[in-house]
Amino acid sequence: MKTRAVIAAVLLLLVTLSVSCRSSVVEESITENSTEEELITVGFSQLGAESDWRSTNTESMLSALSKENGYNLIYKNGQQKQSNQITAIRMFIQQEVDYIVLAPATETGWDTVLNEAKEAGIPVILVDRRVDTTDKTLYSCWVGSDFELEGQKMATWIHDYTTMIGVAPEDIHIVNIQGSIGSTAQIGRSKGLSEAVKEYGWDLLDEVSGDFTETKGREVMADLLQKYDNINIVYCENDNEAIGAIDALEAAGKVVGPDINNGEIMVVSFDGINIKALEYAKIGKISCIAECNPLHGPRVQALIEAIEAGETPDKFNYVSETLFSSVSGITSIEVEGKTYTITPVE
Ligand code: AHR
């Protein structure tokens, strides 16, 4: 008798609990539906916050995919870890978002999770970097920079400039402070340099990752100065690394500038968004910057709007970019038959 009474009490408690749980879920979804009804829900997985470029890119995405523009944006910072990004994508799938926007940290390792998104019927838009999947239908489209072209443009600028000032190719001793290994930006920029090294016969002393950060750029440059005493060009794969590298060079008593015939060490870099880097470009501490444009928010917005309108956007959408330099003598360069004008830094 006593046991039956206990069982009845437990059952009553369970029923009460389940009713109250269900009613709170319903209440939540009613609230969501009434306020978010017209909004497009986007899950955005950003890879991290390693550089000024990245912060500007995040701001651009947040302001384009805003409530005022008709979006309910769920933003997740991956803190430089692909595993965090994969977790975020799985969460977006569970939340049944309308679109997933992914700025991937590295190119490989996305097949499984992107398949899950595809099975859930959620279109994936890639922004900035790319993924290396055999099945290209795992994402709808991509928008970003042509990183290999950026590298080719920089290498051509170095070639044209050093030729102009009469430095023989074998006297060009370069170190490459690479970006995060395996990212599209690193792969493309390193390729642009290594092809020029082969073509012109420059001396590429070393390639070490600076992870796109100022701290690592400083650290890596200090180590390289311990190893080599003949470096005359430092190829930094972003501006933050260049700022760190310049600090290390100056701390070691080196003069940074384009006059390598007279012992200066020339620094070149990528991005053109960091104020300090642009100041450095103005005074010749950074001799040339290949632009990498971070303002992808409105571009992603346009891609979503095109899909919403039933269109199929181009698979790969490239952004056009310039080079910034205040070093006199080179006003334009040519890569694969196309001319690119150098933008002076004001
Ligand atoms: O993928 C773009 C690169 O990533 C930018 O050049 C760099 O600054 C950033 O961290």
Give residues with Cβ within 8 angstroms of 129, minimum separation 6. 47, 103, 104, 105, 106, 107, 144, 183, 184, 185
pLDDT of residue 346: 81
Q: Are strands 323-324 and 338-343 parallel, antiparallel or unpaired?
A: parallel
Share of the chain above pLDDT 70, in %: 89
53 Cα–ligand 1 center, Å: 6
Average pLDDT over residues 127-144: 97
Q: Could you read off the pLDDT of 141-176 as tens digits, one per residue?
A: 999 999 999 999 999 999 999 999 999 999 999 999
Which of 46, 50, 51, 273 to mutate for ligand 1's pocket (most ligand atoms within 8 Å of CB)? 51
DSSP 260: G
Angle between helices 52-64 and 297-308 (to 10 degrees): 40
9 Cα–ligand 1 center, Å: 61
Q: Could you read off the pLDDT of 278-290 as tens digits, one per residue?
A: 999 999 999 999 9
Lowest mean pLDDT among 1-10, 203-212, 333-342: 1-10
pLDDT of residue 70: 98
CA distance 246 to 257: 10
Q: Which residues line ligand 1 (CB under 6 A)?
A: 50-51, 53-54, 128-129, 185, 212, 238, 270-271, 292
185 Cα–ligand 1 center, Å: 6
**Inter-residue contact 204 to 164 (CB < 8 Å):** no
97 Cα–ligand 1 center, Å: 27
Which of 46, 271, 274, 319 to mutate for ligand 1's pocket (most ligand atoms within 8 Å of CB)? 271
Please calculate the CA angle 71-74-92 and round it to the nearest 5 degrees: 110
The candidate with the shortest Cα–Cα distance to 272, out of 320, 295, 238, 298, is: 238
Angle between helices 184-200 and 147-164 (to 10 degrees): 30
Q: Which domains does the chain have, with CATH numbers?
A: 25-139 (3.40.50.2300), 147-292+322-344 (3.40.50.2300)
**Inter-residue contact 46 to 117 (CB < 8 Å):** no
Average pLDDT over residues 114-134: 98
pTM of the model: 0.89
* Torsions phi, psi for 323 (to 5 deg): -125, 140
Question: Does residue 15 register a pLDDT over 90?
Answer: no
Which of 57, 106, 128 to mutate for ligand 1's pocket (most ligand atoms within 8 Å of CB)? 128
Q: Could you read off the pLDDT of 237-253 as tens digits, one per residue?
A: 999 999 999 999 999 99
Judged by DSSP in three states, 280 sits in helix
74 Cα–ligand 1 center, Å: 22
Mean pLDDT across the chain, nearest whole number? 91
84 Cα–ligand 1 center, Å: 19
Q: Ligand 1: which residue has its CA nearest to atom 2?
A: 185
